[in-house]
């Protein structure tokens, strides 16, 4: 198992936590990466964890991309991420139960390839049907034409 932090880290204590937990051999922190490498990491991953706190109501390109790649995905149960169906991505509650929930979700997904595939396939179907850029453009056109 490899834990990959793809992109820049916002939490400055992550490297010290990795050392403290003796996870240096299992962990890669990429820092800023080009799009091709980023997509390669997404496509080769089994599970994507996309925790966001705090949130200002923004969408996550990483979440949309992870779903479109058909990856089992775990997100924070906050803001706009609450709107995603439970069969598309699993949501970790914020607060005292955040870490235990994340650990339980990770253990379950790591031990059950079929479950990862089902969750990933659900996410991919959702991305294709709901997040599809052509569909979104048509929705905008329809809304604008109503005026």
What pLDDT shows up at residue 57?
Answer: 74
Computed on alpha carbons and rounded to an integer, the radius of gyration of the chain in Å comes to: 17
pLDDT digits (tens, 9 = 90+) for 29-68: 998 999 999 999 999 999 999 988 777 777 788 899 999 9
Whether this model's pTM surpasses 0.85:
yes
What pLDDT shows up at residue 78?
Answer: 93
How does DSSP classify residue 60? -
Give every residue of the chain whose pLDDT is below 50, as ranges: none
What pLDDT shows up at residue 147?
Answer: 65
113 Cα distance to chain centroid = 17
What pLDDT shows up at residue 81?
Answer: 93
Rounded Cα gap, residues 139 and 47, in angstroms: 31
What pLDDT shows up at residue 14?
Answer: 86
């Amino acid at each position: 198992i490899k834990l990959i932090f793809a992109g820049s880290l916002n939490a400055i204590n992550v490297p010290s936590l990795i050392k403290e937990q003796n996870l240096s051999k299992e962990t890669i922190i990429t820092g800023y990466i080009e799009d091709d490498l980023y997509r390669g990491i997404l496509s080769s991953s089994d599970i994507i964890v996309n925790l966001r706190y705090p949130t200002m109501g923004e969408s996550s390109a990483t979440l949309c991309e992870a779903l479109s790649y058909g990856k089992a995905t775990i997100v924070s149960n906050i803001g706009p991420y609450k709107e995603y169906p439970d069969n598309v991505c699993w949501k970790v509650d914020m607060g005292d139960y955040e870490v235990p929930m994340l650990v339980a979700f990770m253990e379950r997904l790591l031990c059950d390839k079929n479950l990862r595939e089902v969750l990933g396939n659900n996410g991919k179907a959702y991305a294709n049907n709901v997040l599809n850029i052509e569909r979104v453009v048509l929705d905008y056109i329809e809304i604008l034409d109503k005026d």
